[in-house]
């Protein structure tokens, strides 16, 4: 697979197209130990910090579907300003390398624009056929949602099935993309200059 096709694949993944279906995950049974009872002080600390507040009140997916539909429309029509406006900066890109080591990049608004501009000649690439698989929405709260998707990319002689996820946050009543989670791009991004070493979050030494 050549550089042009790999970079096109990356850009499609970063911009995550539209899909329609989702499912509600089954909640595990809580572990119960009658010998362990939280103290009133512990309960008050949890409540004060909001950890027992804000349960999911709705799993309505219409706004989320509309978010991704607008995203795909922006990509197909080249309205990149619409795509950029959907991000909550700084944007996090979480991936790993060939050895399975996690690699984290953080891009502010300017770096994100630079990265997408650099990828412009390859994106969108009409030679790459993209079929969006079903998307599953996992509601953490009413304002935090993980969107998981499985896409198929057809390069003519090669095909690849590619899982990805987005962390969406609802800010001021609008859904925004906060993080992209995608495997396997750890070396590729820096080796080809798409992202720089200074964009990488280095693990803290013990």
117 domain residue, yes or no: yes
Decide if 116 contacts 128 (C-beta within 8 A).
no
Decide if 186 contacts 203 (C-beta within 8 A).
no
Closest-CA residue to 183 (of 159, 157, 148):
148
137 domain residue, yes or no: yes
178 domain residue, yes or no: yes
Q: Which helix (H) or strand (E) holds 177?
A: strand 174-181
Instruction: Give the structural domain span for 107.
Output: 3-21+56-196
pLDDT at 109: 93
30 domain residue, yes or no: no
34 domain residue, yes or no: no
We report the CATH number of the domain holding residue 74 as 3.10.450.50
pLDDT (tens place) for every residue of the chain, 206 residues total: 554 554 555 555 555 444 444 455 566 666 666 667 778 888 888 777 777 767 889 898 999 999 999 988 887 788 888 989 999 999 999 999 889 999 999 999 998 888 877 665 555 566 777 777 889 999 999 999 999 999 888 878 888 888 999 999 999 999 999 999 999 888 887 887 777 878 888 877 76
51 domain residue, yes or no: no
pLDDT at 87: 96
Domain count, the chain: 1
pLDDT at 134: 85
29 domain residue, yes or no: no
37 domain residue, yes or no: no
pLDDT at 32: 65
């Amino acid at each position: 697979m050549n550089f042009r096709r790999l970079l096109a694949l990356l850009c499609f993944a970063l911009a995550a197209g539209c899909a329609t279906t989702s499912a509600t995950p089954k909640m595990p049974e809580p572990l119960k130990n009658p010998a362990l009872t939280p103290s009133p002080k512990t309960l008050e600390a949890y409540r004060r910090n909001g950890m027992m507040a804000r349960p999911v009140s709705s799993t309505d997916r219409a706004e989320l579907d509309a978010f991704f539909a607008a995203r795909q429309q922006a990509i197909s029509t080249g309205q990149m300003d619409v795509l950029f406006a959907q991000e909550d900066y700084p944007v996090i890109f979480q991936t790993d390398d060939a050895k399975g080591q996690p690699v984290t990049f953080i891009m502010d608004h300017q770096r994100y624009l630079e990265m997408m501009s650099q990828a412009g000649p390859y994106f969108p690439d009409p030679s790459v056929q993209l079929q969006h698989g079903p998307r599953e929405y996992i509601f953490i709260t009413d304002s935090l949602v993980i969107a998981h998707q499985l896409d198929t990319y057809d390069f003519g002689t090669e095909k690849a099935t590619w899982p990805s996820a987005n962390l969406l946050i609802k800010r001021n009543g609008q859904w925004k993309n906060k993080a992209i989670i995608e495997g396997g791009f750890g070396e590729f991004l820096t080796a080809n200059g798409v992202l720089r070493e200074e964009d990488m979050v280095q693990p803290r030494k013990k």
